[in-house]
Homo-oligomer: A and B are copies of this chain.
Amino acid sequence: MTRRGRAEREREAGVATMRDVAERANVSIATVSFVVNQTKRVSPETRARILVAMEELGFQRNAMARALASRKSRILALLFPALEHRLGSFVTSAAKAAEERGYKLVLWPVRNDGADEVTELISGGLADGVLLMEVQLDDPRVDRLVDAGAPFALIGRNRDPSKLSYVDMDFEKTVELGIDYLFDLGHRNIALVLEEFEGTPLAGYAPPVRTEERYREHMAELGLETVVLTCAQNPVAGRQLAADLLVAAPDTTAIIIMNAEASFGLVNGLAHAGLKIPADISVLAMATTSDVSAFSDPMLTTMDAPSAEMGRRAIDALLAQIEGGSAELQQELLVCELHIADSTGPVSERQRTVRS
């Protein structure tokens, strides 16, 4: 019998079992089970010894084994059909890619600060790997995943993703593309509008940071002045923003906005202020989807997030790690595609004379 022993495996994987805890605390695994699940009285001393052992070993009970033995998974499934029209093509295409390769992709709700849940999920054996969304520049969940030795890929990037697998939008190239498009239309006063995250759990969310940086750089390269505003992710805020912008930077002839919800309000707000779009001012919505461009009137010119492609590649990146080992890094940046509609146009002669 050359089958590897438990201890050997433990050393490799670093997963402590109830048996390990039991040995260390000098009790039976039954007793450990009782304290873990609080399912029977255990004397305070024994209990304390067990808790210490659990702590020292970083014990996490295996959810699969528990489910098998108890015939209860404690998982409720919300059957989620027709994902497309709710979550966009990212999830749909990722789910499809996973299925094609023999895996099931499941959406796992976690709080934004829920680092513990991450550990639990992996150490508990419930998932073979993890896709992480809405990555912040300094994201504690990433550290947890690294510590847990979990296979994972980011949708987005943290501050230094050089050793990690990720798929992200190329915000830098995208904003550059947007600026160049507007520049070629004759615009010289191009403002940038971002989502406001200060004071929310998403403070330090990377996309606006990267976008703003590159915007400032590229505008400088073109010898242009910069105007950056932020606003909350809702149309009311967008409407207010229109007023603010016209006070702060009345010369503006074009706006790049990366804030889908606010963009609809922005368009309405500009109209209320008496501006015609695009005759008086152009609006370009970045990193959104042209599906919603008709929410506003005129229809928004957009730079569409490559969602479906990102979904597919994210699964690829994750499975490369799971099946190929942790050395298999995959790092991809995808540029948004420009979809010209009715909210952008050449700068008019009137704007040129009146405003400059």
Residues of A within 8 A of B (CB): 62, 64-65, 67-68, 71-83, 85-87, 91-92, 94-95, 98, 102-112, 114, 118, 121, 125-134, 141, 201-202, 233-236, 239, 261, 264-265, 268, 271-272, 291-292, 294-297, 315, 318
Contacts and interface: CB of A to CB of B under 8 A. Distances in A.
Contacts of A118: 79
Given A74-B128, A110-B80, A125-B73, A87 B85 contact: no
Q: Which of A128, A130, A131, A233 has the most CB of B within 10 A?
A: A128
A109 B88 CA distance: 13
Q: Which of A121, A127, A132 has the most CB of B within 10 A?
A: A127
B106 A108 contact: yes
Contacts of A318: 76
Contacts of A106: 75-78, 106-109
A302 to B, nearest CB: 13
A98 B76 contact: yes
A288 to B, nearest CB: 13
Contacts of A87: 86-87
Contacts of A295: 235, 261, 264-265, 295-296
Contact of A129 (B77, B81, B296): B77
Given A68-B68, A105-B109, A234-B291, A133 B77 contact: no
A133 to B, nearest CB: 6
A295 B262 CA distance: 8
Contacts of A94: 78
B79 A130 contact: yes
A131 B82 contact: no
Nearest to A265: B294
15 contacts: A71-B125, A73-B125, A73-B128, A75-B104, A77-B106, A77-B107, A77-B126, A78-B94, A78-B107, A79-B131, A81-B110, A86-B87, A95-B109, A264-B294, A264-B295
The SS class assigned to the A binding surface is: mixed
Nearest to A152: B79
Given A131-B78, A201-B82, A126 B68 contact: no
A194 to B, nearest CB: 16
Contact of A134 (B82, B95, B272): B82
A128 B236 CA distance: 42
B128 A107 contact: no
Q: Which of A74, A80, A134, A236 has the most CB of B within 10 A?
A: A80
B201 A73 contact: no
Contacts of A92: 109
A62 B126 CA distance: 14
Contacts of A112: 81-82
A269 to B, nearest CB: 9
Nearest to A118: B79
Nearest to A72: B128
